[in-house]
Structure 1
Amino acid sequence: MFRALLTAVFLFVFVAAHAQPSSNETWIRENYTKTEYDIPVRDGIKLHTIVYTPKDASPDKKYPFLMQRTCYSVAPYGADKFPAKLGPSPALMRDKFIFVYQDVRGRYMSQGEWTNMTPHIEQKKKKSDVDESSDTYDTIDWLLKNIPNNNGRVGQWGISYPGFYTTASALSGHPALKASSPQAPIADFFFDDFHHNGVFTQGYYLTFPVFGIKPPKPTTASWFASEMISPEPDGYIFNLKMGSLKNFDKYYSKNWYWQETMDHPNYDEFWQKRDILPHLKGLKHAFMTVGGWFDAEDLYGPLNTYKTIEKNNPSAYNTLVVGPFGHGRWSAEAGHTMHNDIYFGDSIATFYQNNIEAKFFKHFLKEAGDGKTGLPEAYLFDTGKKEWKTYDKWPVANAEKRKLYFQAKGKLSFNAPDESKSETAYVSDPLKPVPYTSNYKQMSGFTPFEYMSEDQRFAAARPDVLVFETDVLDQDITLGGEITALLKISSSGTDADFFVKLIDVYPGNEQNHEYLKDNKTVLAGYQQMVRSEIMRARFRNSFQKPEPLVAGQVTDIKFRLQDVLHTFKKGHKIMVQVQSTAFPLFDRNPQKYVENIYKAADTDFTTATQTVYHQADAASALEVDIIK
């Protein structure tokens, strides 16, 4: 059961499950030599590293390094055991590189102490000042000196947590490091993965043993497996019966990461120093950041990594790729590319691997390396038109900023409301929270995957979900860029959450496609979620210093949804839904202000009436970028 759960989360298992073990493994054995090393770094710690070198490497035929550093194991261990895949793709594996895999400090076979999102040390003054950048610098130096027949160039990639290690390792500044590709990288745990705008991602409750139990010594085994929770099959009921977050302590009282999370409910120094984005400056090698528009785990990371590098390093080679994928799903070809019920085309992962990723790494590691790759600044997939688009800047420079205003009677329009008084209210009961999905199996899974494009008709039918939609569109409208929720609200309580969803409503005559997973889905009238995000009202003015709402007072709630590139086609409608719970994806707000929600009592939870205003002097809206 444990391995099955990891299959849904961790890239190395996902890839292995989708590869062709017999033929690929045989080919790797025939073409690569495997060696294992314990590489010493400056403070004396040794990092376990596996190197796969092409057998035809020679003084006359030298290869570059392509490296992945991971907390998820570099298995298989042992000289006679080979993986089913090397590198980011079959194309690069067969083109041949010296592939390097390293267990990061304190994980699996590497020595040392591990911490989540290793804080970066800008000024290293002594040998004990170590972080991911110093470990990477020392590793690269060792590889160059000890692995024969290398061409002196190093590239790196990683997806999800290994994506963070790619970003952090890029700060090593080693002159041999020529190309980095952070893919679905975590950037900041207060906005990525474990939190969204500080709201706890309760849907990750099963993952805490992986990140909060330290191994007693280097090991090839998954030492945390015995600490895993076995929830009831119905994850909604399991989490509801659990009650307030502090009740998880009965499982995680010895889990140091859970305790850290509970003790730091606000964006204090603990979280701030784990934010890698402020350190992305002075970068001199090439970057290609990769993400998926339907990545339920890490969409904030790739978008903000790319934008931060672009802002702080204007002369650097820096590109962005985002496809129609869930978390890491560009790493293995699925054939008919689907996310949930939506079909986007065939062999899209292979197109990305061969025409984008392989071009990037081959140019900087084997070819001229002058930046003339032929690739655009941004290679993005329009999830409405279902086709790749290229841009020389992202967000697009000439995009038009418009507001989609909420209106009376559930209308949504680009015209501002003119009513002197107009509002819609709903009652939010944390004891009867809105489910975030109609897929109850997903609720008891290791992490969510499918909800990012799911049909929202199940939510629209609830009285505690507000629905606003446009008239039928008479022309295509492409939203491409940033989205900001601009809400005018009041609450009968002293705290509240607001979960906002941007939705593409299909026409009533939409036909089912041939690749639907079951015969129960009807695409006619489908309400496909395009983007969503949640905001906790206490953080409306500051993530560092929360403050309660004043009950009954009209208040501004402003927050960013992540970017989109989606064409709402003629004949479709644009919809926005607003609700206060999305359970158990996100934890429930007690709706009564408490200092630390992680330590709230079950008795703190209270029903509240939430009012959203859509009148001339208090107009709620989504601000969007429209590409003409």
Structure 2
Amino acid sequence: MMTSYPRELQIQFDQRVPMRDGITLSADIYMPVGNNGEPGIYPVILSRTPYMKAEISLETAKYFVRNGYIFVSMDVRGRGDSDGEFVPYFNEGRDGYDAIEWCAEQPWSNGSVGTIGASYGGRIQWLAAVERPPHLQAMIVLVPPSDPFVETPTGTPSPMHLCWLHLVSGRALQSMDVVEWEQVYEHLPLVTMDERVGRSIPSWRTEMQHTQLDAYWEPLCYQQRFDRVKVPVLHISGWYDDEQIGTPLNYAGMTAKGASAEVRASQRLLMGPWGHNTNADSRFGAVDFGSQAIIDLRGEQLRWYDHYLKGKTVDVGAPVHIFVMGKNEWRDEQEWPLARTQWTPFYLHSQGRANSRFGNGMLTRVKPAVEPVDTYLYDPANAVPFITDATSSQIGGPDDYSSLQRRDDVLVYVSEPLSEDVEVTGPIKVDLYAASSAPDTDFMAMLIDVWPNGFRQRLCDSMVRARFRNGMDKPELIEPGQIYHYTIDCWNVSQVFKAGHRICVQVTSSAFPKYDRNQNTGEPLGQTTELAIAEQRIYHDAEHPSAVVLPIIPAR
């Protein structure tokens, strides 16, 4: 028998939800209204946000209410109408637990609670889940940040993080347009950068005092505690999400270490050709990903909740559903990374002059033998830009790096034009053998698709800070002139390099302002203004086979 749900919507504003320490948080309750005027009893979907609950929830809430759910939208502690002090992330595990259990106890709840949220609202679901609230039954997590330093392995927050901290200062959202952010990012020392904004931001100052992974950060680390998570999770992100690395990591972690075999089998990964704003447009920057790029994402979410909150027998889809860029089509898979991956090193080569796209840098599958070293000068006063808008709402995209590859402090290694399509789907790793004249410095690597028309499309990138080469909890300066082996995790991609295109790797020592500039002095991070120029040397020979390791997917 088909079940029909009431279409009328009733809203209870500013319901006070008590936390264990006596603080109350504000929630708006969206609920169906039956023929008798009462809401009835339904499963509950909880969304907790620092971005003003009334601003982001109405259309989402109406959709789920129409489909037989009660939707609870809550301001997190210290934001909007909620009491307490907002300290980003640090109260969210306990508060999330208490909010979930409060939802389960209400007379309009059947005791089955799911959570949903993106970005901040994604990470805090994980922080609540590791607390094991008994009534949490399912999560939908979109574009969540990872553990501290996973996205920015620098020891310092990204300069663009200050933009976000300004946005969520006080109880209401602040205007980002009134600040000249590009001037702010130039400010040194980093620790006083908030002065340049014109606002005291205590969280920035506090983070700048903890420039390695230590006990301070422990409450925010969830990616080593998947064994405590006992719920099905729909993991959603985009290849160009500026926090993308966390979503595939979380899916892989939960399928390997979730609290039970049943939980491990109930994970699903969905990756589209999107940025931090998922499923927003088929076109991103100069690249059009085609008519298939936008999907019925709410329908995917509804099926997830119907299955895990209502117990319906519905098809929630294959374990992995990914959009393959270049080919511009969706594909189902059974695991991540893909079992049929051929991990293939593409080695860096040159005749000692890989500087700029006009140099002689090459990328081949042939291991190097005897080759001269590539050198460049890294001057933090003239850092290589990372192409992005000024604010942190979206950091980078499928941008054209052809103009930046004119610089001599950018090494460019490029393959011959491909004779056939080559699919690269999975995590990207760069093995780099390098030396520096500085006691501390940075090395950046970027994977690029070079089109026949000259467009050089950024795919993915990341970096390593030399002092953290052995881990974010083990800072150690380097010996100037000594060769070190660095491993750079360049995140993930799914791209078909079309026939006639070329595979390119770019190596440099800055990507500003995505990452702060290494000042090359070895001094305590973020506290000084002195800058030094470093001579960087990249090795690619038999003893030092620098390479990018690509996850090649053989054609079926």
Q: Which deviates more, 267-276 or 389-398? A: 267-276
- Residue of structure 2 in register with 1:21 after alignment: none
Deviation track 1:405-460 (CA, whole Å, cap 9, x = no partner) reads 001131101111122x32211111111111112x6xx23x34444x2310110111
Conserved? CA contact 2:226–2:253, under 8 Å: yes
> How far does residue 625 in structure 1 lie from its aligned partner after superposition?
1.6
- Residue of structure 2 in register with 1:170 after alignment: 129
Report the Cα distance in structure 2 between the residues aligned to 1:138 and 1:245, rounded to whole angstroms. 36
Letter in 2 for 1:613: Y
- Residue of structure 2 in register with 1:610 after alignment: 536
Conserved? CA contact 1:183–1:291, under 8 Å: yes
* 1:379 pairs with one of 321, 327, 344: 321
Residue 347 and residue 47 in structure 1: after superposition, are their counterparts in 2 closer, same or farther (change >3 A)? farther
Secondary structure, counterpart of 1:577 in structure 2: strand
Pairwise CA RMSD: 2.6
Secondary structure, counterpart of 2:512 in structure 1: coil
Residue 204, structure 1, aligned to residue 153, structure 2: no
- In structure 2, the gaps of 5 or more residues are 1-5, 351-359
Conserved? CA contact 1:199–1:536, under 8 Å: no
* 1:106 pairs with one of 53, 78, 81: 78
- Residue of structure 1 in register with 2:553 after alignment: 627
Conserved? CA contact 2:192–2:205, under 8 Å: no
Residue 431, structure 1, aligned to residue 431, structure 2: no
* 1:315 pairs with one of 244, 255, 262: 262
Residue 139 and residue 322 in structure 1: after superposition, are their counterparts in 2 closer, same or farther (change >3 A)? same
- Residue of structure 2 in register with 1:403 after alignment: 345
Residue 47 and residue 289 in structure 1: after superposition, are their counterparts in 2 closer, same or farther (change >3 A)? same
> How far does residue 501 in structure 1 lie from its aligned partner after superposition?
0.5
> How far does residue 35 in structure 1 lie from its aligned partner after superposition?
4.0
How do 1:133-532 residues align onto structure 2 when only pairs under 5 Å count?
A: 133-148=93-108, 150-192=109-151, 195-198=152-155, 200-210=157-167, 213=169, 215=170, 221-222=172-173, 230-232=178-180, 235-236=181-182, 239-240=185-186, 242-248=187-193, 250-251=195-196, 254-296=200-242, 298-313=243-258, 314-316=261-263, 317-330=266-279, 333-334=280-281, 337-346=282-291, 348-354=293-299, 356-368=300-312, 373-408=315-350, 409-419=360-370, 421-437=371-387, 442-443=389-390, 445-449=391-395, 451-507=396-452, 524-532=453-461
Secondary structure, counterpart of 2:121 in structure 1: helix
Deviation track 1:145-202 (CA, whole Å, cap 9, x = no partner) reads 3342x4332211100000112222223434432210111112223223xx34535411
> How far does residue 270 in structure 1 lie from its aligned partner after superposition?
1.5
Which has the larger helix fraction?
1
Residue 276 and residue 417 in structure 1: after superposition, are their counterparts in 2 closer, same or farther (change >3 A)? same
Residue 239 and residue 284 in structure 1: after superposition, are their counterparts in 2 closer, same or farther (change >3 A)? closer
Letter in 2 for 1:259: R
Report the Cα distance in structure 2 between the residues aligned to 1:286 and 1:70, rounded to whole angstroms. 21
- Residue of structure 2 in register with 1:568 after alignment: 497
Q: TM-score, normalised by structure 1?
A: 0.79
Conserved? CA contact 1:418–1:616, under 8 Å: yes
> How far does residue 249 in structure 1 lie from its aligned partner after superposition?
5.0
Residue 66, structure 1, aligned to residue 12, structure 2: no
Conserved? CA contact 2:241–2:394, under 8 Å: no
Q: Which deviates more, 281-290 or 609-618? A: 281-290
Letter in 2 for 1:605: L
Report the Cα distance in structure 1 between the residues aligned to 2:39 and 2:436, rounded to whole angstroms. 72
- Percent identity between the aligned chains? 28
Deviation track 1:214-245 (CA, whole Å, cap 9, x = no partner) reads x5xxx6x44x66xx79444xx545533x3442
Conserved? CA contact 2:75–2:82, under 8 Å: yes
Conserved? CA contact 1:188–1:274, under 8 Å: yes
Residue 34 and residue 346 in structure 1: after superposition, are their counterparts in 2 closer, same or farther (change >3 A)? farther
> How far does residue 347 in structure 1 lie from its aligned partner after superposition?
6.2
> How far does residue 62 in structure 1 lie from its aligned partner after superposition?
4.1
- Residue of structure 1 in register with 2:23 after alignment: 45
Residue 503 and residue 310 in structure 1: after superposition, are their counterparts in 2 closer, same or farther (change >3 A)? same
Report the Cα distance in structure 1 between the residues aligned to 2:551 and 2:202, rounded to whole angstroms. 42
Secondary structure, counterpart of 2:276 in structure 1: coil
The number of equivalent residue pairs is 534
Report the Cα distance in structure 2 between the residues aligned to 1:379 and 1:57, rounded to whole angstroms. 40
Report the Cα distance in structure 2 between the residues aligned to 1:53 and 1:393, rounded to whole angstroms. 37
Letter in 2 for 1:54: P
* 1:86 pairs with one of 44, 48, 60: 60
Conserved? CA contact 2:442–2:518, under 8 Å: yes
Residue 535, structure 1, aligned to residue 464, structure 2: yes
Report the Cα distance in structure 2 between the residues aligned to 1:105 and 1:236, rounded to whole angstroms. 31
Letter in 1 for 2:539: Y
- Residue of structure 2 in register with 1:599 after alignment: 527
Residue 255 and residue 422 in structure 1: after superposition, are their counterparts in 2 closer, same or farther (change >3 A)? same
Residue 134 and residue 588 in structure 1: after superposition, are their counterparts in 2 closer, same or farther (change >3 A)? closer
Deviation track 1:59-81 (CA, whole Å, cap 9, x = no partner) reads 996432111011222126xxxxx
Report the Cα distance in structure 2 between the residues aligned to 1:56 and 1:547, rounded to whole angstroms. 65
> How far does residue 392 in structure 1 lie from its aligned partner after superposition?
0.7
Report the Cα distance in structure 2 between the residues aligned to 1:436 and 1:283, rounded to whole angstroms. 36
